[in-house]
Amino acid sequence: MPPRPRPSLAAALAAALVAALLVLLPGSTTAQAAPVLLSQGRPATASSTEGAGTPASAAVDGDNGTRWSSQFADPQWIQVDLGAAARLSQVVLRWETAHARAYRIELSTDGSNWTTAHSTTAGTGGVQTLDITGTARHVRVYGTQRATAWGYSLWEFQVYGTTGTGPTLPGGGDLGPNVIVFDPSTPGIQARLDQVFQQQESAQFGSGRYQFLFKPGTYNGLNAQIGFYTSISGLGLSPDDTTINGDVTVDAGWFNGNATQNFWRSAENLALNPVNGTDRWAVSQAAPFRRMHVKGGLNLAPNGYGWASGGYIADSKIDGQVGNYSQQQWYTRDSSIGGWSNGVWNQVFSGTQGAPAQGFPNPPYTTLDTTPVSREKPFLYLDGNEYKVFVPAKRVDARGTSWGNGTAPQGKSIPLSQFYVVRPGASAETINQAVTQGLHLLFTPGVYHVDRTIQVNRPGTVVLGLGLATIVPDNGVTAMKVGDVDGVRLAGFLIDAGPVNSPSLLEIGPAGTTTDHAADPTTVQDVFIRVGGAGPGRATVGMVVNNHDTIVDHTWIWRADHGDGVGWETNRSDYGLRVNGDDVLATGLFVEHFNKYDVQWNGERGRTIFFQNEKAYDAPNQAAIQNGSIKGYAAYQVADSVAVHEGWGLGSYCYYNVDPTIRQEHGFQAPVKPGVRFHDLLVVSLGGNGQYEHVINGTGAPTSGTSTVPSTIVSFP
């Protein structure tokens, strides 16, 4: 088809001037329009473009000489994101010659579910002023029949209405009663620590949430025992600004010396002088130990050396030896340690000074000299008397801590006044208004029910939780979505599935994005996903990563195997993590118990350093997990279409306690291609409850018997 004629700029401006004069005529419907133009300069997307010179953004730029045009096919659409829900009154379409004969004006609050506000099959082109009613954030022109042989083309797509459902939200403010702040002169610190611990020690699925904050200084004679949903942090810019001559302790007395359920707690940004020379941090999943300086040793086992199934250390310095003892697996990143004792199945180190040498499978050490890309978690601190959040800079090929050695930390500080301090009872609508207004989000400890998706669409937004703040989606919505933008920082919160199935619980970027975010990636750190346990919950997928270059640094994505609302169909969730974006890096990936694939990796050039998995305990029989001709779904699947992928230190365990006769074909599945490489893989049958036939694809010895001995592969292919 020959190129279509294009009106000259002068002709276009003349047409626009005539249209503008018509708008001002007495009796014109435009005279009744709301005076606020909401769409100009807002993000616009389209189903297609005719070429690079006619992008969607040209239809909302306020310039009547630039335009959007589509490919020459039906249907086509263009939509604009107003940034926040608004009460709409009018849409003005300034068509170029290529206009729509049949089209709809559609409205949406979430960009996914649309309602029709106007529909016609007799479009005349020119300037069309349409009175509409409705409340929406997204407005779309959906063309179903072209009036010419060309595509659809708009000089301008204008949306009018009124915004704001209330006054401008303030930044900063009080952190609420469950953020407990101490300074060295505070009386009764130990009693307050003990009071919270007594409440939280065994409250595995309770609603209590607590954050302890210690102002810079020295504290003597403390033993801060840390229970469920409790976080302890120093408020200095460096861990050494806040010193406890005492201990920060996690033990397992509440569970008869078994630490395998010591979840959901954290310690950050403190220096410790342990009373007996060694601090005890006997945890399992979702219990990060970050930015800590232990002036002595660290014991990762419970008193009595019972079972433990953790864990994660980052950006920390342990002057003495780390006693691994009974920990089945552990990941240590960008740290400095005085030594490391023994190992059970899978111990992984990247960028860690003092780490043991590579030795997998005996001893079971996977050691990388550096971490390819890392960026430490944002943290709250005091600058004088002012609260700020420090946002550390990205590091490439990092080794050792980001602090110490007399160097200033690299990154930026954001005053608390630039954060919306989210308190229990806040609605998703208000939270979204805060982001649209330009504020970051600081979730104070609590449980938050949201009836719509929290939309994080502004570049560089920090979303930071204190005290394992927990977000529960109601009515089957996705709890949080990140836009196709640079530099979003998600950290320190838990998303707990609601009883109505959500398609996903957390989405990083929209499907199909092609944007390069390598210079300033989104980071997801200590963000945990849970389906069931605290009550019935359902989600098709736990976390979806679409944005390229995303860094997932320590997550536990868990379909509950115990607690309330647990059963093969009761807390159904087929997939834990799905990665569609390219160049995504996971450091410290824990994903467990999903009904089908725990991890599905579809993006190119993905990398994972450390993976821990258990297959779903509660599969009722072999047929329930049959994957076509394959026995069971792999814990970690790389799509056949992927050409380049790499993983280090990955383990999968099975414990089919409902039907111990179940056979699992393999723990890992990947295409056999030169660019797809794995290092140090293992599968384990826990006590003979189910067995693996291979480690990856059809490679690797089967597990057998009840001795809980791993089957390992050092290199694949």
Alpha helices, H only, 533-574:
none
Note the pLDDT of residue 228: 98
Average pLDDT over residues 224-253: 98
Question: Is residue 438 very low, low, confident or very high in pLDDT (cuts 50, 70, 90)?
Answer: confident
- What are 313-337's pLDDT values in tens digits? 999 999 999 999 999 999 999 999 9
Note the pLDDT of residue 18: 34
Burial bucket for residue 187 (CB in 10 Å: 0-12, 13-18, 19+) = exposed
Note the pLDDT of residue 28: 31
Structure tokens at 223: 């033993």
The angle subtended at Cα 597 by Cα 591 and Cα 598, nearest 5°, is 5
Note the pLDDT of residue 29: 31
37 or 517, higher pLDDT: 517
Q: Are 30 and 90 in contact (CB under 8 A)?
A: yes
Residue 14 has φ and ψ, to the nearest 5°, of -65, -45
Note the pLDDT of residue 31: 30
Average pLDDT over residues 257-265: 97
From 36-40, 255-259, 532-536, the region with the lowest mean pLDDT? 36-40
CA-CA distances (angstroms) from residue 607 to 408, 536, 649, 674? 30, 33, 11, 15
Reported pTM: 0.81
Q: Are 327 and 346 in contact (CB under 8 A)?
A: no
Q: Report how far residue 335's alpha carbon sits from residue 317's, in angstroms, rounded to the nearest whole number.
A: 6
Note the pLDDT of residue 161: 86
User: Which residue's entry shows tokens 């996705």?
Assistant: 478
- What are 402-419's pLDDT values in tens digits? 999 877 889 999 999 999
Q: Report how far residue 158's alpha carbon sits from residue 143's, in angstroms, rounded to the nearest whole number.
A: 16
Q: Report how far residue 544's alpha carbon sits from residue 600's, in angstroms, rounded to the nearest whole number.
A: 10
> What are the E-state strand segments in 235-328?
242-249, 265-268, 271-272, 278-280, 289-290, 293-294, 297-299, 312-314, 317-323
CA-CA distances (angstroms) from residue 259 to 226, 285, 356, 467, 632? 13, 10, 24, 20, 29
Q: Report how far residue 434's alpha carbon sits from residue 169's, in angstroms, rounded to the nearest whole number.
A: 6
From 140-144, 161-165, 474-478, 655-659, the region with the lowest mean pLDDT? 161-165
Question: Is residue 264 very low, low, confident or very high in pLDDT (cuts 50, 70, 90)?
Answer: very high
Alpha helices, H only, 613-711:
none
Q: What is the residue-averaged pLDDT of the chain?
A: 93
List Cβ neighbours of 678 (8 Å cut-off, separation of 6 or more): 646, 647, 648, 650, 668, 670, 696, 713, 715, 716
Classify strands 68-69 and 153-163 as parallel, antiparallel or unpaired.
antiparallel
Has residue 311 got a pLDDT over 70?
yes
Q: Report how far residue 599's alpha carbon sits from residue 529's, in angstroms, rounded to the nearest whole number.
A: 13
386 is catalytic: no
Burial 278-289 (b: 16+ CB within 10 A, else e): bbbbbbbbbbbb
Average pLDDT over residues 369-377: 98
What are 339's strand-pairing partners? 321
- What are 202-226's pLDDT values in tens digits? 999 999 999 999 999 999 999 999 9
Note the pLDDT of residue 15: 38
Q: Which of 156, 376, 614, 693 is catalytic?
A: 614
- What are 663-699's pLDDT values in tens digits? 999 999 999 999 999 999 999 999 999 999 999 999 9
List Cβ neighbours of 241 (8 Å cut-off, separation of 6 or more): 216, 234, 235
- What are 534-580's pLDDT values in tens digits? 999 999 999 999 999 999 999 999 999 999 999 999 999 999 999 99
- 3 state DSSP class of 581: coil
Question: Is residue 87 very low, low, confident or very high in pLDDT (cuts 50, 70, 90)?
Answer: confident
Note the pLDDT of residue 165: 52
Shortest CA distance to 575 belongs to which of 600, 608, 545, 611?
600
- What are 440-477's pLDDT values in tens digits? 999 999 999 999 999 998 889 999 999 999 999 999 99
Question: Is residue 310 very low, low, confident or very high in pLDDT (cuts 50, 70, 90)?
Answer: confident
- What are 91-124's pLDDT values in tens digits? 999 999 999 999 999 998 888 878 888 989 999 9
85 or 59, higher pLDDT: 59
